Amino acid sequence: MAEKLLMRALKGETLDVPPAWMMRQAGRYLPEYKATRAQAGDFLSLCYTPELAAEVTLQPIRRFGFDAAILFADILLVPQALGADLWFVTGEGPRLSTLTDRAGIDALKPADTVHETLNPIYETVRILSRELPEDVALIGFAGAPWTVATYMVAGRGTPDQGPAHALKDGDPDAFGALIDRITEATIEYLSAQIEAGAEVVKIFDSWAGSLKGDDFTRYAVAPTKRIIAALKARHPGIPVIAFPRQAGDGYKNFARETSADCVALDNSVAPEWAAEHVQRGVCVQGNLAPGHMVTGGQALIDEVRHIREAFANGPHIFNLGHGITPDADPDNVALMLETLRERR
């Protein structure tokens, strides 16, 4: 059978029409997701029920025919597996017990115990590896250590990641210990996903943009580099996508500095800039503004064509610049793919 399009792009092949998937493609904009979520009862039950998590992962593949499926889970399952309390507030998002000092960090569970909590996630991966169409790649994922740490320190998402910055600056040894624990747990988690059948893994650093200068190197680049090195040592040839969102100039050398096979781009950078500065010798992923999935129309068609052409001279995976939003129209997703694949 011909190699999957996503895997070809990750190996550096320039394709006439790039493979496509969307961040959060299984989610609240789909009526079938809402029905399955109601069946599960709550978000965490959906994540930890393999049959239902696999079902919502498969739904956008059936509806749209994406070239890749991404495991349905959440980046905050790792903190929960390390001993943090985790719950979700309807309409507001996740809440965690907070970490404020070294004693709390030292009390976290060892990294190699996370499988006790996360085994249902690996079962979801096994189901998907059996049930996905043969031409669809399976992506596993985890949050990057910095982004996960920001939630663990603050107990929730924050506009500027201020609590994490305060702990980082006020007690760098304690914060470094937290980053180390998350990094070790993430290696274990992603390695187990690969063993269960994930063909690619992605590291989401959603709050990387608030790190500047040496902090970006220390807390965004270095942990990602460590995770990728460990995964490639355990699983030679496994491709890794890294997403240091809003990294700006930090995107330029991120693949070289971390050994990532692909750098995902948010929509704050122009495709032409990224083609010149990031795509040289490495696959890039992105970077349609998610708002187009709400508004649709000719502007969506024009921007899909613009991005496709801007990245046409190198390896590219078409995606959004961030996750699709709950108010998106599924018809606009179909229009995006129809436009992208005009020349296929």
- Tell me the CATH number at 103: 3.20.20.210
Selected catalytic residue, list 28, 95, 218, 341: 28
Does the annotation mark 280 as catalytic? no
Q: What is the span of the domain harbouring residue 9?
A: 5-24+60-117+128-340
Inside any domain, residue 306: yes
Inside any domain, residue 244: yes
- pLDDT for 182: 98
Higher-confidence position of 56 and 343: 56
- pLDDT for 92: 87
What 3-state DSSP class applies to 235? coil
Does the annotation mark 234 as catalytic? no
- pLDDT for 51: 98
> Is residue 334's pLDDT more than 60?
yes
Alpha-carbon Rg for the chain in angstroms = 19
Count of domains forming the chain: 1
Residue 90 banded pLDDT, cuts 50, 70, 90 = confident
Residue 193 banded pLDDT, cuts 50, 70, 90 = very high
Encode pLDDT of 15-44 as tens digits.
Answer: 999 999 999 999 999 999 999 999 999 999
Average confidence (pLDDT) over 328-340: 98
Do the beta carbons of residue 234 and residue 255 sit within 8 Å? no
Selected catalytic residue, list 122, 151, 189, 219: 151
Residue 2 banded pLDDT, cuts 50, 70, 90 = confident
Selected catalytic residue, list 8, 29, 33, 37: 37
Residues in the chain: 344
Inside any domain, residue 305: yes
Inside any domain, residue 329: yes
Does the annotation mark 251 as catalytic? no
pTM recorded for the entire structure: 0.97
- pLDDT for 91: 82
Instruction: Calculate the dihedral angle through the C-alpha atoms of 174, 141, 38, 119, rounding to the nearest 10 degrees.
Output: -80
- The closest of 307, 298, 297, 299 to 340, measured between CA atoms, is 307
DSSP codes, 104-117: HHHTSPPGGGTHHH
Residue in this structure with the two tokens 């895997």, named with its chain if needed: 7
Residue 191 banded pLDDT, cuts 50, 70, 90 = very high
Does the annotation mark 151 as catalytic? yes
- Mean pLDDT of the residues in the chain: 97
Do the beta carbons of residue 80 and residue 47 sit within 8 Å? no
Please report which helix (H) or strand (E) contains residue 264, including its range.
strand 262-264
Does the annotation mark 29 as catalytic? no
Residue 183 banded pLDDT, cuts 50, 70, 90 = very high
Inside any domain, residue 188: yes
Average confidence (pLDDT) over 119-128: 98
- pLDDT for 94: 95
Average confidence (pLDDT) over 208-229: 98
- Residues in a beta bridge with 243: 204
The verdict on whether omega for the bond into residue 313 sits within 30 degrees of 0, i.e. cis, is no
Encode pLDDT of 262-314 as tens digits.
Answer: 999 999 999 999 999 999 989 999 999 999 999 999 999 999 999 999 999 99
Inside any domain, residue 51: no
Selected catalytic residue, list 67, 74, 261, 266: 74
CA dihedral over 307, 318, 94, 75, signed as positive or negative = negative
Inside any domain, residue 16: yes
Distance CA 157, CA 128 (A): 30
Inside any domain, residue 87: yes
Return the percentage of the chain with pLDDT > 70, whole number: 99
